[in-house]
Amino acid sequence: MPDASPPCIALLGFSIECNKFAPPATKAHFIARTYLEGDAIIEEARSPNPTMLPEIPGFVAAMDAAGPWAPVGIALAMTEPNGPVEHSFFVELLDTITHRLEAALPVDAVYICSHGAGLTTEEDDPDGVLFERVREIVGPDIPIAATLDLHANVSERMVQSIDVFIGYRTNPHLDMRERGAEAATAIRAMLGGLKPQRAFVRLPIVPPTVTMLTAAGPYAEMIDFAQSRMSPEILNVSVMGGFAFADTAKNGLTVVVTARHDKGAAEALAGEIAELGWANRARFFPQLTSLDEAVTKALVVGRDNSVPSLAFADVADNPGGGGRGNTTFLLRAFYEAGVSGALLGVFYDPDLAAEAHRRGVSASFEARFNRSETTKFSEPYTAPATVVALTDGNCVGRRGIYAGLRLELGPCAALEIGGITVVVISHRVQCADPIFFEMMGLDIGRARSVVVKSRGHFRGGFDEFFGPDQIVEIDLPGLTSPMLNRFEWKRLPRPVIPLDQNVEWVRV
The residues of the shown chain that bind Zn ion, judged by CB under 5 A, are 149, 151
**Shortest Cβ distance from residue 118 to Zn ion (Å)?**
12
Comparing CB distances to Zn ion, the nearer of 149 and 182 is 149
Question: What's the CA gap between 225 and 220, in Å, rounded?
Answer: 8
CA atoms lying within 13 Å on the CB side of residue 316: 22
**Residue whose CB is less far from Zn ion, 280 or 318:** 318
Cβ proximity to Zn ion: between 151 and 428 the closer is 151
Q: Which is nearer to Zn ion, 149 or 433 (CB)?
A: 149
Query: Among 337, 153, 381, which residue's Cα sits nearest to residue 245?
Result: 153
Shortest distance, position 19 Cβ to Zn ion, whole Å: 12
Q: Are 419 and 449 in contact (CB under 8 A)?
A: no
* DSSP letter, residue 364: E
Residue whose C-beta lies closest to Zn ion: 151
Radius of gyration from C-alpha coordinates of the chain: 23
Bond into 172 cis (ω within 30): yes
Q: How far is the CB of 213 from Zn ion (least distance, A)?
A: 12
Tell me how far, at minimum, the Cβ of 173 lies from Zn ion, in Å: 6
* Residue closer to Zn ion, measured from CB, 71 or 460: 460
Alpha-carbon distance 120 to 86, whole Å? Answer: 6
Residue nearer to Zn ion on the CB measure, 151 or 250: 151
Cis upstream peptide for 498 (omega within 30°): yes
Alpha helices, H only, 338-421: 350-359
- Name the pairing type of β-strands 381-391 and 364-369: antiparallel
- Between 20 and 151, whose beta carbon lies closer to Zn ion? 151
User: Least CB distance from residue 378 to Zn ion, whole Å?
Assistant: 23
Considering the complex, what minimum distance in angstroms separates the CB of residue 279 from Zn ion? Answer: 24
C-beta of 151: minimal distance to Zn ion in Å? 4
Nearer to Zn ion among residue 167 and residue 341 (C-beta): 167
Nearest approach in angstroms of CB 413 to Zn ion is: 29
Q: Compare residues 168 and 278 and give the one whose CB is closer to Zn ion.
A: 168
Work out the widest C-alpha separation in the chain, in whole angstroms.
80
Complex with Zn ion: residue 149 or 317, whichever CB lies closer? 149
Q: CA-CA distance, 460 to 173, in Å (whole number)? A: 8
Distance CA 281, CA 183 (A): 31
CB neighbour class for 306 (10 Å; exposed up to 12, middle 13-18, buried from 19): exposed
The β-bridge partners of 199 are: 257
Going through 249-336 in order, the beta strands assigned E by DSSP cover 254-259, 310-313
Q: Select 153 or 391, whichever has its Cβ closest to Zn ion.
A: 153
Q: Which is nearer to Zn ion, 135 or 151 (CB)?
A: 151
Residue 170 Cβ vs Zn ion, minimum distance, rounded to whole Å: 10
- For residues 42 and 334, what is the distance between their CA atoms, to the nearest angstrom? 46
| Nearest distance in Å: CB 293, Zn ion | 28
CB of 435 to Zn ion, least distance (A): 20
Measured at the CA of 255, the angle between CA 87 and CA 400, to 5 degrees, comes to 70
Q: Is 341 left (phi over 0), alpha (psi -120 to 50) or beta?
A: left
* Least Cβ distance, residue 256 to Zn ion (angstroms): 16
**Are 117 and 206 in contact, with CB atoms under 8 Å apart?**
no
How many C-beta atoms lie closer than 10 Å to residue 484's C-beta?
A: 19
Apex 212 CA angle, 207 and 216, nearest 5: 135
Q: Is the dihedral of CA 217, 220, 222, 224 positive or negative?
A: negative
| Rounded-to-integer distance, Cα 466 and Cα 203, Å | 34
C-alpha to C-alpha distance for 321 and 457, rounded to whole angstroms: 11
